[in-house]
Structure 1
Amino acid sequence: MTDAARGGALSDGPARWERAAELFADWRSGDARAIDDLVRLMTPVLWHVVRAYGLDRPLAEDVVQTTWLALVRGHEKISDFRSISGWLTTAARREAWKVVKRERRADATDDVVLEPMLPVQESAETTVTASDEARLLWKAVAALDERCRRLLRVIAFDDRPDYATLAAELDMPVGSIGPTRGRCLVKLRARLTHADGVDERGNDG
């Protein structure tokens, strides 16, 4: 990314969400360049969200493109600019889930699963994993059990997760998502601490 001042690389979390809100507000105010910066900022995030559903590269690209088209068509319905990151990730997740169900119906062997996978080729998501910290994080996520991997990769970039939708997608009771996420985060923190060479026994178990 060459325009760091407007939409350049940012670490994931509040800084990214705040920058996305600023760019969305600028675009709605008539700054045509802002939408391009918003796309550069949020596409790597959407890519991770979509790939968490096990879609191959062409299908994932279609889902991300459809998500941006949905924003262009429905942006006037978004009154709270601060919710743009959540709106985009939710739209991407729902579109990915629709594609997964469609592919399952088309495939008699029903081989499509929600198994998240780490990218093995250089692509848009390398923007998100460029830093050593990010690579360490996703390596730790990959070492977790299947349920934790699925849950964390689906909700990792959503600051306001829709638990009802997640429950249906992950085949989990709504009430168990929060506690399960908490336990998975404890496991993830322990792995990250050990990776840094610190013994955490006695703290998180």
Structure 2
Amino acid sequence: MTLSDLLTRLGPLLKAECAAEASAAGIDAADLEQSVWLRLLSDRRADGAAARLRTAVRAEARAARRRALREVPYDPTADPPAGAGPGVEQSVLAAEARRELRAAVRRLPGRCPTLLGALLSAGDPTYQEIAGKLGMSQGSVGPVRSRCLGCLRRMLMAEIAAP
């Protein structure tokens, strides 16, 4: 039996079987039909082609149902699921922003790099701890921090304004 004969003889039966099984599988009948044709054409035995066709349709429909249970459609506009952390892209962008901030802080004059570096440290130290570490009075940490942040702001604004 030639391929043309197989297509002519089994085409209507395959179309009907796929139409019957596709809605239960939750897929398009044409997609199911295409999958079955691929399965049938890889095994070209002529004996029992109609019975194999029905078996192949049901097997492909079961496989489609299993895939539908495992697959989750991607929606870039959807909110991330509850409990999910930031995505990879957000993590990379946040890390890059932290690197740029630390580089800008290192370019500041005087004792601003050490003070702002201490304020940005992961340990979240108190003003008392920072003052003890830097050898300055606790009351001067706030005003010096304010002047350093103003200097950092002016420096960054100048860099943004002048490409």
Q: Normalising by the residue count of structure 2, what TM-score does the alignment of the two structures yield?
A: 0.40
Whichever of the two has the greater Rg, that structure is 2
Higher relative contact order (CA 8 A, sep 6+): 1
TM value normalised by structure 1: 0.32
